[in-house]
Amino acid sequence: MSVASKTPSARPKRLSKADRRRQLLDVARQLLESGGADELTLAVLAERAGVSKPIAYDHFESRSGLLIALLDDTSQYYASDAEAKIARAPQTVPAIARIVAAAYVQCSLDAGPALIVLAAAVEANAEARDAGRAVQSDHAERFARAFESVLDENTDQRAPLYKALVAAANSICDDRHQNKISTEQAVEALTHLLVTSLSPFARIR
């Protein structure tokens, strides 16, 4: 057989920029789970992902940029079908609390154990801290929207309460990730917390 007739070996498929970013975020999350936040640098990320350092820097610019990107990526897990379930559920605080609690705990589990390490790393990073607090504020607003149909109209007065409930919900989810409690116990604890905290504001008591 002549050289010209040989079939050339296929080159590895080059990832699109979006797919490469997805790969890098997945590898970064694995690094958080296995080595903790200290191991998460763009140099280590590039090595583990099998790319050059300039590629990692092109996507995230800095370690702070990587933490913020991970935070944004993780927040997508909190989008769920809870709103549709709430629309079909009895319009009472306990019924909605159960839906919100189950969705929040499940979405935290979907985000994975890296979430705990990421939260601590973001809080310790001055550049990423504001982004982390913005995500917490977004979760507080989601809680407010979920209960707005069954509570009185004094929503502004409850803003600090919703932020406190998000912090407590995250603590419960952390306990679940560390296997201190079961999923059902986490859902029950968060449901109870939401009911006891918000029932005094219910339109119908």
What CATH code would you report for 17-61? 1.10.10.60
Segment 111-139 mean pLDDT: 88
pLDDT at position 13: 59
Are the CB atoms for 136 and 166 separated by under 8 Å?
yes
Model confidence at 61: pLDDT above 50? yes
**Residue 168 corresponds to which tokens in the numbers above?**
């407590």
pLDDT bracket for residue 181 (50, 70, 90): very high
What are the pLDDT digits (tens) for 37-48? 888 999 999 999
Looking up tokens 């419960």, which residue turns up? 172
Other C-beta atoms lying within 10 Å of the C-beta of residue 184: 11
pTM of the model: 0.77
Nearest to 38 by CA among 167, 124, 140: 124
Model confidence at 1: pLDDT above 70? no
Contacts of 34 (CB under 8 A, 6+ apart): none
pLDDT bracket for residue 14 (50, 70, 90): confident
Model confidence at 200: pLDDT above 80? yes
What are the pLDDT digits (tens) for 72-103? 887 776 656 788 899 899 999 999 999 999 99
What are the pLDDT digits (tens) for 111-123? 888 888 888 899 8
